[in-house]
Each structure stands twice: as structure tokens, then as C-alpha cells.
Structure 1
Amino acid sequence: MMRTRPLKVALLGCGVVGSEVARIMTTHADDLAARIGAPVELAGVAVRRPDKVREGIDPALITTDATALVKRGDLDIVVEVIGGIEPARTLITTAFEHGASVVSANKALLAQDGAALHAAAEEHGKDLYYEAAVAGAIPLIRPLRESLAGDKVNRVLGIVNGTTNFILDKMDSTGAGYQEALDEATALGYAEADPTADVEGFDAAAKAAILAGIAFHTRVRLDDVHREGMTEVTAADFASAKEMGCTIKLLAICERAEDGRSVTARVHPAMIPLSHPLASVRGAYNAVFVESDASGQLMFYGPGAGGSPTASAVLGDLVAVGRNRLGGTTGPGESAYAALPVSPMGEVVTRYHISLDVADKPGVLAQVATVFAEHGVSIDTVRQQGKDGEASLVVVTHRASDAALGGTVEALRKLDTVRGVASIMRVEGE
């Protein structure tokens, strides 16, 4: 039976995502009511610019006082899509204190203070849902914390930022340089005027922290995630990748150690074989590859950003939280019982592609090989090209720790015959 009293929803933020949430709440009102079991009423919208025209939203609902809105005491659900750390953090905790559950898309806040927010939600008996914080419309968080709750996840490997994937895909398919590809992404609206959060990996690192925490039942903060940007990736790197039958992607990688006693989380560019499903993810799309004991390999694919896709994830959470509200219960909270340590990057083991500029003379290869051997890094293949006293040497290693590779590179830079280390790229997905 349909409950006649509506669920009251407050919206914090009414930008690209927030305006889509409001629009869908209005246009799909009957369907949402049928799915939840009660009508949904937009009770207030907090914004910074109240004079801006917002089509389809009653101006009487607009306020600049977000604190007063979440303190009303009659709200059932607060939807937070303003982003950032503050005032979002204070507004969410205030919403819990005044009786509302929260749906958020705030990856930065959840990566930094997810544990505290979950604790506040539990203290007040409220829900905290955040499907939209990672990979837009792609159902990912709920499958990890519910559908795979009985399984053991060992690895999460994904493309979780559409801007960077668009740029790298353009470099791969057209031979464009980084700046040229970035300029096109900006012109098409895929990249912000300041793309730092995307291209330097901050956005992906926040998502990696959230995914690792859920997948491994362990608290993983943003500071635990090793991060490297993609601004140094060159057309020459793509040429080398193609010679190996690979392409280059900015990956978020969350792994359980082979002995199961620790986890790692990292974001960086990497070569992956063209045969890997992630290699075919084009344009601004996202995809996440999950490996677990019982389920084996699963892949989640779709649009990872944008107003409508992200709003879709928000509304999915809204339905789930609304149902919980009517049933007098709450959904899954934080699961951090495993409390596994997060290992430093130096303990990560993978393969490497190293490009060196060296002197073109006898004995150089032997010197380089000796350095690798002294640091316990086994060489898989070597490719050398030389001309007019200059040469390039490309070394692909077997699996080795990041610490061992770092020591190797440091020693290589001290050789008189090595003019420079042109690039270092990890090789994943094999």
C-alpha cells in the first residue's frame, strides 16, 4: 500500500548533477513513488547563487542557508552534491543529528573522512549511501558491498576518470601529444578549465580509496593511495606500448597481497595488453574489473560522469534509502572488520617498461644488465636502437617490487653511459 505522507528530500547543490536530480524527481515522480512506497517531495534546495534561473524548481524552495535547511527536523533524506570537504562534512553530520539519512556523491569527502561519516550515521541510526561517488551511473559500490558480500575480492582494477581516458584514448588513436589531446578534451567539455584533479590522479585516487575500503573491508584513506599523474605520458610511450601489443590507461588498482595479510591502493598510468577488456574502453567511458575467489572476473562498464548518469546513481540510492526509511531500518554501513594494513608502494610487485637514453658504444647493455641483476630485477626483453653515437634502450622486466625497481633506476642514472631515463611505465593486466 502507498503511504500518503511524502518523504521529504532536501537537495544541497543544484549544479549539473543537482539540477538533474531535481528534474528526474519531478518527471519520474509517479514511478519513484511506486518503487519506494511513498511520494517523494522536494522540500528545499540549498544553493550559492539564488538569483540563477532553475527551470522546473519552485523558487520558494531555494535557499542560501544550507545549515538551516538540514536542521529543519522534518527531512527524511538529504542529497549532498556540492562536493568538497567543507561545508559538506558539517552539513552531512548535522543532517544525521536532525533525523535525516544522506545520499552523497562526494568522493573527496568520503575518501578522507568516510569512517567518521559512517560512525555518525550509525550513531543516529541513519543511512549513508554514495553510489554516485565512484564511476557515475555504473552500479559498482552496491555490488561490491552487497552482491559480493559473500565472496572474497582480491583485486579491483579500473578506469575511473573519463577525462583522462578520453585524453589517453585520443593520444593512442591519433598520435596526438598530451597537450593537443587535453585541448580537445577541454573544447568538448570533458576537461575542466583547471584539469589538475583529473590529470594528476587526485580524482581517481579518491575513488580508489573508497573502492579498496569496500572491497577489502578495511579503512583506506586518500593518504593511503599512491598517486601518479599522466602529464608525462608521451607519444613515444604509446609507440613503445604498441610494439608490445599494449595500450596505456590511467588505472586505479586495489589489491589484496598474495598472503592475504595486507592491501595496496594506487593510481598511475600503466601499459595493459590489448587483449585485456579494459584496453577497449574508449573515449570518456569508465570500466572497473573485479577479480574474486568465487565469482572470478567481473567487469562493470558505462558512462562515469555527467549530470544524467550521476543523477541516475543518486536516484538509485534515494529509492533504496526511502525504502529503508519506510521500513524503519537501515542498509549496510561501514564494513571494516578485516582492518588489514595498507602496504606502501615499495612493496607492490609488477612488471616494468623502462626507456633509457644511452651512449651508442660497446658494453653499455652489459653495464645496464649488471645494474638490474645487482638489484634483483630480472630482465624479460631488451630492445636497442642506435644512431650517431646516441641510442635508446628499452627494457621490460619480469615481476619485481617497486622498491627494487626504484633502486635500479637510481643506480642507472649514475652510470656515465646512461644519458637519461626517458620513461618508466608499469605493465599491468597480464
Structure 2
Amino acid sequence: MHLTPYLKTWPHPEKPERIILLATRRCAALELSTGLWQRLVSGGELSDRELATFTRLGVLVPSREAEQESLRNTFATLDVASRRFEVTATLTLECNLACPYCFEDPFRGKLVMTDATADLLVARLVERMASGLDVLVDFYGGEALVRLELLRRIAGQLQEAAVRNGVTFTFNLFSNGVLLTRPTVETLLPLGLQAVRTTLDGPPDIHNRQRPFVSGRGSFDTILANLAAVHDIVPLKIGGNYSRDTYRRFPELLDHLLIAGVNPAKLRDVSFAAIMPKADGTGLGDHGMTCACTAEPWATEAHLFLRGEIIRRGFPTDRLGPGACMIEFEKDWVVNYNGDIYKCPVFMGDESLRIGTLADGTTDYRQSHNLDLWKNDECLACAYLPLCFGGCRFFSKLKTGGFDAVDCRRPMLDASLEQLVLQDLRLRP
């Protein structure tokens, strides 16, 4: 057995005779003695229990070369194994908020999925059901709940089709929370609603400046009241967008949630991200969502600070795990309101990145999206590869104008990974 090439170690900051180890492919974090580590490095004798544990956690592998080849085939293996087809469906690009940093701003407007396009969407997903695949839809916008009746019609038809085909249909909802009332959620749960992703951009004064109604009135109180009213019946994923000037005040938002009666144990996830650029590359910030990040010192500090505050207050948040751009997954589509198909929501509106339509099907996008970009010697030898797989294609495009270079995460992970692991070891139960 050999040490995996996908391994990071650090001296324990408080215990001189111990080290912290992370097997990045399994995201298994361990604390062990320097003596045991030396036995691992030198190929010394291990007990049966030690050998079994290190093998199970991916620290030891039969062959480093085979491990690397297995990583090259990660997505082909996952696509074959997956029995679920996932679609992000954009019902409308209308929105009842006027966020100045909205990344959809370059192409947003009163653009709505027609009944004919909705019928095509249902037909294409029923075809997947007929082949034995479960279907998961993320209803997206704009603000998806502006078109609630359309959402209900699509979800109802897919729920009926799933029963006929002996598979499952579920859906998530991306919503700004303004229309997320308890009666609305109660009507959606029987149709397959399993979680809602919503956004609060800090305490009221910051949020109301960043996420006002179209009229200019603040939206914080409306959204917070709705979240408090529904969090016990549907899992919520609460996000927020910060800047260099606002991130230190985001813990105040966590306290507002607690005061409003939101039970952290009922939530699915709380995580904040820096404001990301708009779809055309303009905007206030450096990164956002879950797939984009930066090595700027302030951004690393902000992420670690906020993650720690979330954990300390008992809210659930992201655990360290493998990450990859969604374009890598064959059974993932993003469908625009007009039936155009893309591989990521931030690609919508860019004709050059469209991979097909609901009417005509999809084309081979391996070359246009440079899917094998990360399969180079430098990336394959990098211990961080299982955490990024070449990073975010959107940010790669912003940097170079195309997909001809990876969005390397090494500087960011060099600056933050050790502290992320220590946070989990110190703060998590």
C-alpha cells in the first residue's frame, strides 16, 4: 500500500507531537501522532486496524498511478452510476427585487417561459423518467414564485409522470423569499418540494440597500417573517452576499434569525459568499455562489470568519467536500425560459455557450466547454485536484475570454484549507 498523492498535512498548532492530515479525495481529516505519521511515510509496519482505517479513508491506496487514473475517470464513473437527471429550469427572468449586483442584470426582463416551452420541458423529462431515471428540478428565475401557477403545472405533471414510470420526482426552489409564504409552501410540498434556497444579505440596513423591492422599499422584514413561518415545514438553505465592507456585520443576521424564532436545527444550510460579477463580467466583487472563490486575503479572512460564526451559533453550514463545476456532469441541464439549454446558470444569454434546445436536443459540448482542461500533468499531480477539478469555468472565461485555462484554486486553498480543517476539528461536535 502507498500514500495517496491527494494528501495534505500540517503540524498541529497546539500539540507539537501531532499532525493534522487531510486525504482530499475522501475529505477525511485526521489528527495523529508524528510517530504514526513517520511509519506511514516510511512504509513501516501498521496494525491490521490502522491499515484498514487508512485504507478506508483513502490515505493508503494500492497504487498511486491507479489512484490518479481513477481520478481522471471520476465524472465518467459518476455519470454511469447516477440514476438521476437534474435540471435547473428558469421559469422567468422577471423579479420583484432590484438588487444592484444581480448577475442576471445584462439579460433580465419580463421574459417568461411559454406554455409550449413548458410542455417541451415536461416531455423531455418524462423521456428520462421512461428510461428509469429519477428527476430533480431546481426552479429558478428571476423570481420563480412570480410564476407560481406555471411552476405548479409543471411540477404536477412531472409528479404524475413519475408515479406512472415508477421513479421519483422532487424539486428545489430558488427564491428571494418575498413570496415564500406558508400557504404557498403547503401547496408545493405535495408536488415534490424538498428544499428552498433563499438569500438575506446581512442585517436589515445592509440587506435593504442590496436587495430592495423594485419600488425601493426594503425587503428584509418581509423575507425574515416568511422564513420564520416556513422553516419548520421545508428545509431552507440560507445564503447571503457580502463585500469587503459588509462581511463583519453578517453575524448580526444570524442573531436576527434566532430572535425571529428560526431554529437552526430545522435548516439545511447557512453559507455566505462574496458578491460575484454580473454575467457580462462587470460588478462589485470577486466571487460568489459555491463554485467561485479568490485568494485575496480579505476574502479568505471573510470566509473563515463567517463560517466560524455560523458554526458557533449552531447553524448548519458547508463541510469540506469534493467540488467540481456543474458542466462536468452529463445528466445536468440548465434550461432557459425560451428552451435554450446550457450547462451553468451564469452562461444563460451567451449564445456561444448554448449546448442545444428542448426542441432539437443537445450537441457534443466536450470541445466547446473544454471538459478535459484539468486532465493535465500539473493538475493531476496536485493534492488539491479533488477539491476543484479545474475550478469555475465562468471565472476562467472572465480571466482569459474562453475556457483555455483552469481556474486554479491553489493560492486560495494554500491560504485557507488548514484553517477550514481546524475549524471542523475544533468547533463541530
Q: TM-score, normalised by structure 1?
A: 0.25
> Larger C-alpha radius of gyration, 1 or 2?
1
Structure holding more strand per residue = 1
